[in-house]
Amino acid sequence: IEPYGCGRPTFPPSVNRVVGGDDVRPHSWPWQVSLQYRGSSGSYHHTCGGTLISNTWVLTAAHCISSSNTYRVYLGKHNLQAISNKHLLDNVHVTMLMCPHLTLSTICLFNSNDIALIKLQTPVAASNTIMPSCLPQSGAVLGHNTPCYVTGWGRLWTGGPIADILQQARLPVVSYSVCSQPDWWGTLVTNSMVCAGGDGQLASCNGDSGGPLNCQNSQGIWEVHGIVSFGSSLGCNYPKKPSVFTRVSAYSSWINSNRQPFDYGATFFNHHCAICCTIYSGTLA
């Protein structure tokens, strides 16, 4: 990954103005991943986003993954309709899935641990268009109204078409004390989640799941603070129903501990399942 490092795109995103569902500057979010599943006809379809966090690991939402599906990962994409196999990885293993106390067939939505790690079989070469996002400091909690940006190829509006061009929207963080109020999300949110948006105008939508909530630290480096998890069934832009993300900093130890065996050369997989699970036990940061 050196000399590119993480969280410093060659082409910085246009974030000096409020953006909502706007086309992004090409390759300004170079860690954005399109996770695609193979349909019955053999063709692949975008289903979720993801975040490249190293040259071999992608972070996404557990509810995006099904043990019955075959997946591929697209990196360095701007327009999903542009035909190119340059940054296409067909063979990926979902090596770790975190959704405790639920079976693989159970959707992880509205549960605390909506997070999965995807191990790429072939390391990715960093470039101007592909590089990882940085991870936040363990236990970091963003303050109310911290400006962050959600990115993805999800629906452009409730019930609308999937975007061809990668989109971005500015979503201020909503503190847990506000987001957990009864007229907001109430008890459906936990402190292992982060809420953002809720103004009734800007939000993540179907197809954005698994993608990053991008937030810039004081050094100007971009960190992935959230993984798109769920929104309101009343609509993608419903007032007081902000987009809800898995808070990445709550799972720092889990991410690091589950990457280490593979990063240090281990090659073990459970060959009897498409998804190999790990159950979290411990205290969240």
On whether the CB atoms of residues 194 and 245 are closer than 8 A, the answer is: yes
The residue from 34, 112, 133, 209 that is catalytic is: 209
How would you classify the pairing of strands 275-277 and 92-98?
A: parallel
Give the count of beta carbons closer than 10 Å to the beta carbon of residue 106: 12
H/E segment holding residue 229: strand 222-230
Active site residue 225: no
Catalytic residue status for 272: no
Exactly one of 63, 112, 180, 249 is catalytic; which is it? 63
Q: Is 93 a catalytic residue?
A: no
Which of 77, 50, 89, 86 has its CA nearest to residue 164?
77
Alpha helices in 45-195 (DSSP H): 176-179
Cα→Cα distances 136→5, 58, 218, Å: 14, 15, 12
Pick the catalytic residue from 114, 192, 204, 229: 114
Judged by DSSP in three states, 70 sits in coil
Active-site positions read 63, 114, 209
